[in-house]
Amino acid sequence: AMEKKKTYIIHMSKSQMPATFNDDHTHWYDSSLRSVSDSAEMLYVYNNVVHGFSARLTPQEAESLETQPGILSVLPELKYQLH
Amino acid sequence: TTRTPTFLGLDKSADFFPESDAMSDVIIGVLDTGVWPESKSFDDSGLGPVPASWRGQCESGTNFSSANCNRKLIGARYFSRGYETTLGPIDESKESKSPRDDDGHGTHTSTTAGGSVVQGASLFGYAPGTARGMATRARVAVYKVCWVGGCFSSDILAAMDKAIDDNVNVLSLSLGGGISDYYRDSVAIGAFAAMEKGILVSCSAGNAGPSPYSLSNVAPWITTVGAGTLDRDFPAYVSLGNGKNFSGVSLYKGNSLPNKMLPFVYAGNASNMTNGNLCMTGTLIPEKVKGKIVLCDRGINARVQKGSVVKAAGGAGMVLTNTAANGEELVADAHLLPATAVGQKTGDVIRDYLTSDSNPTATILFEGTKVGIEPSPVVAAFSSRGPNSITPEILKPDIIAPGVNILAGWTGAVGPTGLEEDDRRVGFNIISGTSMSCPHVSGLAALLKGAHPEWSPAAIRSALMTTAYTAYKNGRAIQDVSTGKPSTPFDHGAGHVDPVSALNPGLIYDITADDYLNFLCALNYTPSQISSLARRNFTCNESKKFSVTDLNYPSFAVSFPAESAARTGSVPSSSIKYSRTLTNVGPAGTYKVTVTSPSSSVRIMVEPETLSFSQMNEKKLYTVTFTAPSMSSSTTSIFGRIEWSDEKHVVGSPVAISWT
């Protein structure tokens, strides 16, 4: 059965974006994601707070993505509470 | 809020805080459960056009349209992809997929920070007065990131990302997660980016007090806010059949109890469940509670739910007792039946009466709202405490502000208890938590930003911290309700906020983004961790020696190495050196340092002892060398103070010294 997917925050190192993407970092993010999963959906692309995006991945896909060039970290989503 | 402006001295400071246009150009972004736009606190009379700097939007969605915004509530967005991806599509019969606040928390915090003036506010007549936010002329933009099922970090990051694009000046987050390192904590990550854009990020410290090491949101680029009480209370006495009276608090309004003593029963003796004393759903035996006053213990389920359970079982009233965790701290609730909350000691005495008297009776006498309560403020028992578990050398919390029994705007979707069975609807509600103290500081930061548009987030926080007070007018130290003793910097940080003084602090401790990056080098962050947090390639200069003690923080937390178990010969001592830079934001002046050393065994040497400033924004460096014998790690922390004064301004910093 498909391993349960979870949401991850993926931090990218923009300085390692291949020139072929002509500065289109969203396209680069998407192609990085596609390299580990055909079905993964991108939730958000961040511009100010993170160079990266959030996506729904299996733990195995997350692990594989972490080894891709330009990926700084793949961190599991956290849940916060009101105080 | 009512009463808080007076308590903070804002009512006398109209001339201090110029109601200039600069004030009404400040935009406070609030990440929370959304907003109830119909609240009177979003009245925009007298406000000019939306600031030209504003880039945000008023998004439409379930039960919310862009027409709901105005010149006070200038922005409203919602973020639910992370929430829905994890928990499934939002059930729009239960919550609004829009900025609309179905909970009340977001309306409460946003109106506390920047609500307009509303005459004749109260909750059922309790806490009556003119309600106003801290920054009545600031604009408010809400970012809904918290839903019935929680607040998810992918949504929080998206909201912070958008708030930065929208050009807010202050961000207020009354939420927190578990304790994780800065590069893994989405609030810390988002706050770093906001800080770089000159946005002050104010966060709640957490409600996990009084345990030590219980703080949330401790990143040094975040303003971390603890909670204190006001000088206001809502007394509701318990009168027992043996003639004794005990203090309690309550916000109950409704049919009074009959004018006679009623049978009184302990919930633990009116249930077949082992935890029947907690008055949880379905645990009370109706025959045993019908028409009686029921004593319930706090814990597990919500306080107001206990009242609802007693009412559903036919009880006439409830006395709710604290446990050791909350001690003598009394938090008032708008219960659905006549009820009052009493402290742990009172609860013990009442429980004894119930077990010893063969025919125990009681009643509850409601006294409404009382002001001028002293001592106040006291640190709330629930307010999370230091030391900072991630970086012990950064003293947290930064400051405390009013967070107990705070009246502010509320949603029209649920009643004041938030319980489904509560069909009452109110415009204002009274609730407690560091969620309430945080927006106080967010609003005060907006006031300072309006008065000093050129100040950085660190400068604003520094002004709030170095002018905070740690003693009452009678000279006695601020108390911690959980101990009944003076609170420490691990409880109150730099002290209780004093906005009027903060307006003219004299000197400030400024911190730039690069200073924070050097701080991360001192933490031995890897280039990848720094890059994740700061979104740039930053290499720590190998030839430079980095130290967390060099971060220009307005307070001091000193961690000496604990002695090794086997110690022979004379007691070794160690010294730790801190450096600080003060920037002059006031008139020319000469400042002299006063050091309060907590004990003769610890030496605090400041060099130089005098700093003279001749112009605005002039910077001067000083060093502090702390010397102490090595002690065992069980040695309790000790606290001192470093103050610079030119006779007109006092620039105060707390010092916390520990052996770890």
Amino acid found at B150: G
Average pLDDT, chain B: 94
The pLDDT score that the predictor gives to residue B10 is: 93
Q: How confident is the model at residue A1 (pLDDT cuts 50, 70, 90)?
A: very low
Over residues B111-131, the mean pLDDT reads 97
C-alpha B258/C-alpha B75 separation (Å) is 49
B441 Cβ contact list (under 8 Å, min separation 6): B202, B223, B225, B399, B401, B464, B497
**Facing B528 at nearest CB: one of A72, A79, A82:** A72
Render pLDDT for B255-304 as a digit per residue (tens, 0 to 9).
Answer: 889 989 999 999 999 999 999 999 999 999 999 999 999 999 999 999 99
How distant is the Cα of A69 from the closest Cα of chain B, in angstroms? 12
Lowest mean pLDDT among B382-386, B455-459, B534-538: B534-538
Q: How far is A56 from chain B (nearest CA, A)?
A: 8
Q: Which residues of A touch B154 (CB under 8 A)?
A: 7, 9, 43-44, 54, 77
- The confidence score (pLDDT) of residue B566 equals 47
Decide if A82 and B207 are in contact by the 8 Å CB cutoff: no
* Stretch A53-67: mean pLDDT: 95
Q: Are A82 and B529 within 8 A, CB to CB?
A: no
By CA distance, what is B205's nearest residue in A? A83
Distance from CA of A2 to the nearest CA of B (A): 16
Burial class (CB in 10 A: 0-12, 13-18, 19+), B586: middle
B110, B172, B435, B482: the catalytic one is B435
State residue B177's pLDDT score.
92
Average pLDDT over residues B197-211: 97
Position B15 pLDDT exceeds 90: no
Residues of chain B found within 8 Å of residue A13, distances taken between Cβ atoms: 528, 531, 537
Tell me which of B85, B215, B434 to substitute to probe the interface with A (most A C-beta atoms closer than 10 Å).
B85
A63/chain B closest Cα distance in angstroms: 16
Q: Give mean pLDDT, residues B369-393.
A: 96
- A77 vs B154, B174, B180: nearest CB: B154
Q: Which pLDDT band holds residue B629 (cuts at 50, 70, 90)?
A: confident
For residue B14, what pLDDT is reported? 61
Question: Measured between beta carbons, which residues in chain B are less than 8 angstroms from residue A14?
Answer: 535
DSSP B525-547: --HHHHHHHHSS-----TTS---
CB-based contact B574:B558 (threshold 8 Å):
no
In this prediction, residue B13 has a pLDDT band, given cuts at 50, 70 and 90, of: low
Distance (Å, whole) CA B496 – CA B135: 18
Please say whether the beta carbons of B656 and B493 come within 8 A: no
pLDDT for residue B20 is more than 90: no
Interface ipTM: 0.96
Mutate to test the interface with B, among A42, A49, A66 (most CBs of B within 10 A): A49
Q: What's the CA angle centered on B496, arms B490 and B502, to 5 degrees?
A: 125
pLDDT of residue B615 exceeding 80: yes
Task: Residue B346: count other Cβ atoms within 10 Å of its Cβ.
Answer: 20
Pairing of strands B175-176, A79-82: antiparallel
Residue A39 confidence (pLDDT): 85
| Contacts with B434 from chain A: Cβ below 8 Å | 83
φ and ψ of B56, to 5 deg: -85, -170
Active site residue B32: yes
The C-alpha R_g of chain A, in whole angstroms, comes to: 13
- Cross-chain CB nearest to A83 (options B193, B204, B531): B204
Chain A, nearest residue to B435 by Cα: A83
The span from the CA of B291 to the CA of B599, in Å, is 59
Bridge-based pairing state of the strands B479-480 and B378-379: parallel
Q: Is the pLDDT score of B17 beyond 70?
A: no
Examine the pLDDT at B9 and tell me if it is beyond 90: yes
pLDDT digits (tens, 9 = 90+) for B451-471: 999 999 999 999 999 999 999
Asked if B589 and B646 touch (Cβ cutoff 8 Å), the reply is yes
Segment B503-517, tens digit of pLDDT: 999 999 999 999 999
- Looking at the predicted structure, is the pLDDT value of residue A2 above 60? no
Q: Which are the contacts of B461, defined by CB distance < 8 A and separation ≥ 6?
A: B200, B223, B398, B445, B554
- At A51 the pLDDT is 95
